């Protein structure tokens, strides 16, 4: 009596993972240097060395019973305090220890935030293009994810569509800036307008609407881009953070939810997250990783390669006549394909060992994603292949 | 619009945690040396030093991008292989890599195992006395936990009650041996009989009934006790393990599910667990902890203090006339209180700064739990207080 609903999910393999596995297999066949794998958002730069130093120091010098002992269910208190103080100092939101809940990365953070502020049947709105895993993250709570179509012009919010979709069943809006897959950061103007719309609708509906802000790329921001701290603009904000990308620690599963101190029930939300954990089997991130990360809160890996790669790829795409919005951060770019069917476009690219991810699953058919967290050398080498591909398949010459 | 169902849980604080917090507060008041805190199952011995050495070695010498990089969603392949091989060597069950799924401790393991083999409305049977968190673990999946009353004579299974409670809605039986709170390990005879009953009922009902075996205390076993490896006796067994107790790593949240290779759908269960993770925000235990633990799979902390403490406490309780079954493992003992109301008994003990946990929440009213993962010195010092308490309150003299 296997659970049929989970069994049915076995077919639904992520297209990203499928293409990534293809790229790996192809690499084994023809040599990795000949495959141009733009599929996975896996940081390619080592973590800040201070993280490793802090971890070794803790393991070597602190009491092992304390270091490896049970973390309180909301996270180790001094770690939560350090995060609250750092966020307060950096963003001017008056977080206290009680507003921080430690999680297994952003996925863990979203699992708690979503359950705390929605119930089965509620609607959660998300803006396309969006990370396809949000479907599983939201729909498995019993709430329903509804996708607001993209504003293709600049990948800011499509307010017209958004306002049409708002209704009293909407209890949360899920945003992700800087964005996977577009690389776009919401501007201050966009965030202010979003906050104003939601404030008005909260009054109109007579209930809270929470912003659940998924912010793993918050620290990967490029020159000239605005990067407003969402929670400053809207009180009912739950900020979901992960150290995966900023510190290159995706495997260590470490992040947090920061509850805006002015949010409804801000004094009990973190405690509620602790209750939610009991049902979903989440019991804090690893204690030694919590302790180590708390010593490097304001450091990042050397992220400069991502901006360097972005500028090179953006210029190349423009040169080849692609329609593309210049990313403000992350390590993604999301150009328009050269034919309406982005799946067909990506399948053709694959023949050239150029592995691109079609945008259909991101809620933006006709577009494709490139994850450029790879070496700059590899990026440069890929241009000849890209040029060959668009010339032979679409007659594009430069 | 906070989720009212989780909000309602805020009142339901665990009695264990409440008493533990009381003990800590009381310690601050009168000195920790004067409080005899038998509340928490938190290992008191340091982890095996080889674990720390392995972790430092990995952090110092391996490629940081690989060490801290995304773990595959089922766990790091070579870690899963090492666990499969170790289990196969130790217990003679023919596990392969594909049968092992890495989890955030036993809580994570149970969260996946339960969801995979039950659906909302199904019944899961557990034998009292049992760990009260099972209520949250099971009921939050939508399945319903039903408690088989204890066999007070020896805390083996009460088969009469069990057979009465079995019905076609039962899809899983949750067992925990050696047991929290009784310290009792199921005998081979008991496990064989349990397997025979379930085999018969599977045939009768025409569907699988899974044993979900929660085994965090598997390695803490005392002289003379039997400790049968459950999965050897019943094919449809999902073994849920944690390194928390055996290696004193509860904060590191590391464990696994081992799917019996002969279990129904054994080839797809681990992959299903990976799908379940997407909904509950679980994305593997920390990668560096996975790697480190895989190098010390057959080591434990020095667990001898637990058996020493058990023997001292057992003899003392017998001397004082308590009814108590001698534990076969763990660091718990579960005597009968000296009055019918174990809550009242524990409240009276509290006046002597002897902190005991009443058994009502464990499904065994009239009994109480002592967690003796404390120093032997403290155990010995507590006896004078215990004797004073039972003399003054119950007229027991020795």
Question: For A276-297, what is each residue's pLDDT tens digit?
Answer: 999 899 889 999 999 999 999 9
- From the CA of B60, how many Å to the nearest CA of chain A? 8
3-state class of B371 per DSSP? strand
Please compute the mean of the pLDDT values over residues A80-87 and round it to a whole number: 98
List Cβ neighbours of B328 (8 Å cut-off, separation of 6 or more).
B178, B183, B184, B185, B221, B222, B224, B225, B226, B227
User: pLDDT tens-digit profile of A142-183?
Assistant: 999 999 999 999 999 999 999 999 999 999 999 999 999 999
Please compute the mean of the pLDDT values over residues A244-264 and round it to a whole number: 97
Tokens of B76: 């790091």
Residue written as token pair 């569907």: B207
Please compute the mean of the pLDDT values over residues A47-72 and round it to a whole number: 96
Backbone φ, ψ for residue A103 (5° rounding): -135, 165
Test A10 with B271 for CB contact under 8 angstroms: yes
> In what helix (H) or strand (E) does residue B20 lie, and over which residues does it extend?
helix B15-30
- From the CA of A397, how many Å to the nearest CA of chain B? 38
Test B141 with A105 for CB contact under 8 angstroms: no
Test B136 with A110 for CB contact under 8 angstroms: no
Please compute the mean of the pLDDT values over residues B191-214 and round it to a whole number: 98
Test B47 with A69 for CB contact under 8 angstroms: no
The answer to whether residue B101 neighbours chain A at the CB level (below 8 Å) is no
- Comparing CB atoms, the residue among A47, A111, A140 nearest residue B64 is A47
**Selected residue with higher pLDDT from A10 and B291:** B291
The structure's pTM equals 0.96
Contact between B273 and B234 (Cβ < 8 Å): no
Test B119 with A284 for CB contact under 8 angstroms: no
Long-range contacts of A197-203 (CB under 8 A, 24+ apart): A197/A159, A197/A162, A197/A163, A197/A166, A198/A173, A198/A234, A198/A236, A199/A234, A201/A166, A201/A170, A202/A236
The answer to whether residue A391 neighbours chain B at the CB level (below 8 Å) is no
CA gap B102, B241 in Å, rounded: 10
Please compute the mean of the pLDDT values over residues A72-78 and round it to a whole number: 94
β-strands B368-371, B332-333 pairing: antiparallel
Please compute the mean of the pLDDT values over residues A203-224 and round it to a whole number: 98
Across chain B, mean pLDDT equals 96
> What length is written for chain B?
398
Test A272 with B111 for CB contact under 8 angstroms: no
Contact between B317 and B260 (Cβ < 8 Å): no
The answer to whether residue A361 neighbours chain B at the CB level (below 8 Å) is no
CA gap A152, A128 in Å, rounded: 9
Q: List domains and CATH numbers for chain A.
A: 4-47+301-394 (3.90.1150.10), 49-293 (3.40.640.10)
- From the CA of B326, how many Å to the nearest CA of chain A? 27
Test B289 with A286 for CB contact under 8 angstroms: yes
CA gap A205, A210 in Å, rounded: 13
User: pLDDT tens-digit profile of B155-185?
Assistant: 999 999 999 999 999 999 999 999 999 999 9
Contact between A43 and A250 (Cβ < 8 Å): yes
Nearest residue in B to A202, CA atom? B1
Q: Which of residues 38-67 of A touch B (CB under 8 A)?
A: 42-47, 52, 55-56, 59-60, 63-65, 67
User: pLDDT tens-digit profile of B71-115?
Assistant: 888 999 999 999 999 999 999 999 999 999 999 999 999 999 999
- How does residue B1 score in pLDDT terms, banded at 50, 70 and 90? low
Q: Which of residues 112-131 of B touch A (CB under 8 A)?
A: 112, 115-119, 122
Q: Which of residues 293-332 of B touch A (CB under 8 A)?
A: none
The answer to whether residue B203 neighbours chain A at the CB level (below 8 Å) is no
What pLDDT, on a 0 to 100 scale, did the predictor assign at position A15? 83
3-state class of A184 per DSSP? coil
Q: Which of residues 149-178 of A touch B (CB under 8 A)?
A: 171
- From the CA of A104, how many Å to the nearest CA of chain B? 7
What pLDDT, on a 0 to 100 scale, did the predictor assign at position A283? 81
* B chain contacts of residue A44, beta-carbon cutoff 8 Å: 65
- How does residue B21 score in pLDDT terms, banded at 50, 70 and 90? confident
The answer to whether residue B265 neighbours chain A at the CB level (below 8 Å) is yes
β-strands A368-371, A332-333 pairing: antiparallel
The answer to whether residue A214 neighbours chain B at the CB level (below 8 Å) is no
In this predicted structure, the answer to whether residue B217 has a pLDDT above a threshold of 80 is yes
The answer to whether residue B252 neighbours chain A at the CB level (below 8 Å) is yes
- From the CA of A7, how many Å to the nearest CA of chain B? 6
Test A253 with B283 for CB contact under 8 angstroms: yes
- From the CA of A176, how many Å to the nearest CA of chain B? 17
Determine which of A274, A280, A296 to mutate to test the interface with B (most B C-beta atoms within 10 Å): A280
CA gap A249, A51 in Å, rounded: 10
ipTM here: 0.95
Residue written as token pair 């449809």: B236
* A chain contacts of residue B143, beta-carbon cutoff 8 Å: none
- Comparing CB atoms, the residue among B252, B278, B282 nearest residue A282 is B282
Nearest residue in A to B266, CA atom? A2
- Comparing CB atoms, the residue among B3, B10, B60 nearest residue A115 is B3
Determine the distance from the C-alpha atom of residue A192 to the mean position of all C-alpha atoms in its chain, rounded to a whole number.
Answer: 21
The answer to whether residue A245 neighbours chain B at the CB level (below 8 Å) is no
Contact between A148 and A126 (Cβ < 8 Å): yes
The answer to whether residue B78 neighbours chain A at the CB level (below 8 Å) is no
Determine which of A251, A253, A371 to mutate to test the interface with B (most B C-beta atoms within 10 Å): A251
Contact between B100 and B75 (Cβ < 8 Å): yes
What pLDDT, on a 0 to 100 scale, did the predictor assign at position A1? 66
Q: CA torsion B101→B102→B108→B110, rounded to 10°?
A: 30
Contact between B73 and B108 (Cβ < 8 Å): no
Test B70 with A105 for CB contact under 8 angstroms: no
Please compute the mean of the pLDDT values over residues B196-216 and round it to a whole number: 98
List Cβ neighbours of A8 (8 Å cut-off, separation of 6 or more).
none
Test B251 with A71 for CB contact under 8 angstroms: yes
User: pLDDT tens-digit profile of B25-60?
Assistant: 999 999 999 999 999 988 999 999 999 999 999 999
Provide the number of CB pairs (under 8 Å) joining chain A to chain B. 245
CA gap B215, B363 in Å, rounded: 19
What pLDDT, on a 0 to 100 scale, did the predictor assign at position B192? 98
Distances (CA, A) of B308 to A178, B217, B301, B335: 57, 16, 15, 18
What pLDDT, on a 0 to 100 scale, did the predictor assign at position A6? 81
Backbone φ, ψ for residue B355 (5° rounding): -105, 110
- From the CA of B229, how many Å to the nearest CA of chain A? 23
The answer to whether residue B266 neighbours chain A at the CB level (below 8 Å) is no
* B chain contacts of residue A250, beta-carbon cutoff 8 Å: 68-70
Identify how many contiguous H helices and E strands chain A contains and give both numbers.
14, 12
- Comparing CB atoms, the residue among A9, A68, A254 nearest residue B248 is A68
In this predicted structure, the answer to whether residue B354 has a pLDDT above a threshold of 90 is yes
- How does residue A12 score in pLDDT terms, banded at 50, 70 and 90? low
Test A251 with B71 for CB contact under 8 angstroms: yes
Test A43 with B65 for CB contact under 8 angstroms: yes
Determine which of A5, A6, A59 to mutate to test the interface with B (most B C-beta atoms within 10 Å): A6
- Residue B295: strand pairing partners: none
């Amino acid at each position: 009596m296997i659970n049929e609903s989970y069994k049915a999910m076995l077919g639904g393999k992520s297209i990203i993972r499928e293409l990534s596995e293809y790229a790996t297999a192809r690499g084994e066949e023809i040599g990795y240097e000949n495959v141009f794998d733009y599929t996975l958002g896996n940081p390619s730069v080592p973590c800040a060395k201070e993280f490793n130093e802090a971890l070794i120091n803790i393991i070597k010098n602190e009491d092992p019973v304390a270091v490896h002992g049970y973390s309180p269910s909301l996270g180790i208190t001094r770690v939560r305090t350090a995060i609250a103080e750092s966020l307060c100092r950096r963003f001017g939101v008056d977080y206290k220890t009680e507003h921080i809940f430690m999680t297994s990365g952003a996925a863990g953070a979203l699992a708690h935030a979503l359950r705390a502020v929605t119930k089965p049947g509620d609607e959660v709105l998300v803006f396309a293009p969006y990370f396809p895993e949000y479907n599983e993250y939201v729909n498995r709570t019993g709430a329903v994810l509804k996708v607001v179509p993209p504003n293709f012009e600049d990948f800011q919010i499509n307010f017209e569509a958004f306002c049409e979709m708002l209704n009293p069943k909407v209890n949360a809006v899920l945003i992700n800036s800087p964005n996977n897959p577009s690389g776009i950061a919401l501007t201050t103007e966009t965030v202010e307008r979003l906050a104003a719309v939601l404030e008005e609708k909260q009054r109109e509906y007579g209930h809270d609407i929470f912003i659940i802000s998924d912010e793993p790329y918050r620290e990967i921001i490029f020159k000239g881009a605005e990067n407003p701290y969402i929670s400053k603009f809207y009180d009912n904000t739950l900020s979901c953070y992960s150290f995966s990308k900023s510190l290159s620690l995706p495997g260590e599963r470490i992040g947090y939810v920061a509850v805006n101190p002015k949010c409804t029930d801000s004094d009990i939300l973190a405690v509620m997250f602790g209750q939610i954990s009991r049902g979903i089997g989440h019991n804090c991130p690893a204690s030694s990783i919590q302790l180590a990360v708390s010593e490097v809160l304001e450091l990042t890996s050397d992220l400069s390669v991502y901006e360097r790669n972005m500028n090179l790829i953006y210029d190349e795409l423009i040169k080849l006549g692609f329609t593309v919005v210049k990313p403000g951060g992350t390590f993604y770019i999301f150009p328009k394909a050269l034919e309406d069917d982005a799946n067909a476009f990506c399948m053709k690219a694959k023949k050239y060992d150029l592995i691109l991810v079609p945008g259909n699953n991101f809620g933006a058919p006709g577009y494709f994603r490139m994850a450029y967290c790879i070496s700059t050398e590899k990026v440069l080498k890929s241009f000849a292949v890209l040029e060959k591909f668009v010339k032979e398949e679409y007659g594009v010459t430069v």
